[in-house]
Amino acid sequence: MSEPGFPATGTAQVHILHEGYAREGREGERVASTVTLIIDGQRVIVVDPGMVADRAALVAALTAAGPGPGDVTDVVFSHHHPDHTVNAALFPAAGIHDHWATYSGDLWVGREPGDFALTGSVRLVPTPGHTGEDITTLAATPDGVYACTHAWWGPDGPPEDPLATEQAALHTSRERILAVATVIVPGHGPAFRPGPDTPR
């Protein structure tokens, strides 16, 4: 299905600040989230500011793209696992969005879970699977639609998410995303363009 009213192209700019991974190391498991910057008009949005090996390198990547940490207006959590959330405090002026609320200072602004537009070119959509509360950030750019999501860990899926709480819902969410996305920005890997071999 397509996203009603969501454009195939738009004004957002997308920059990958940190390419995530999940792998075994000598000391144990190493995991880092893919961290994405989206700029649209006055909104400066960071998606999934989670675990990284070097926080200074993450901030340097942000400033190389233009904004500083204090310029970030919005942070989006695709879900509430710490490897996707622990560095949110790097952006002190940002409101934080999850599947059902926005948090700013001591203000909790609840809303019904569901689609939520940050701008005309950036929308949060529910895509349960990895957790029941997962959301995907869709960003319409001049070159197509980017989907920042944990429906895939990386380009190869995996076909079945080993940590999914709702496996059947995951496959439905993947179909929803693939109906609109030109580029997938997965939870723990490089951005990729979906094709016939993309796990559904």
Q: Cα 178 vs. chain centroid, distance in angstroms?
A: 15
Confidence of residue 2 (pLDDT cuts 50, 70, 90): very low
Supply the CATH classification number for the domain 13-185.
3.60.15.10
pLDDT in tens, 91-145: 999 999 999 999 999 999 999 888 999 999 999 999 999 999 999 999 999 999 9
Residues of the chain with pLDDT > 70, as a percent, come to: 96
Cα separation of 50 and 36, whole Å? 11
Which pLDDT score, from 0 to 100, does residue 157 have? 92
pTM of the model: 0.94
The answer on pLDDT for 42 being more than 60 is yes
pLDDT in tens, 80-96: 999 999 999 999 999 99
Q: CB under 8 Å to 54, separation ≥6 — which residues?
A: none
The answer on pLDDT for 8 being more than 70 is yes
The answer on pLDDT for 148 being more than 70 is yes
Cα separation of 153 and 50, whole Å? 14
Which pLDDT score, from 0 to 100, does residue 3 have? 62
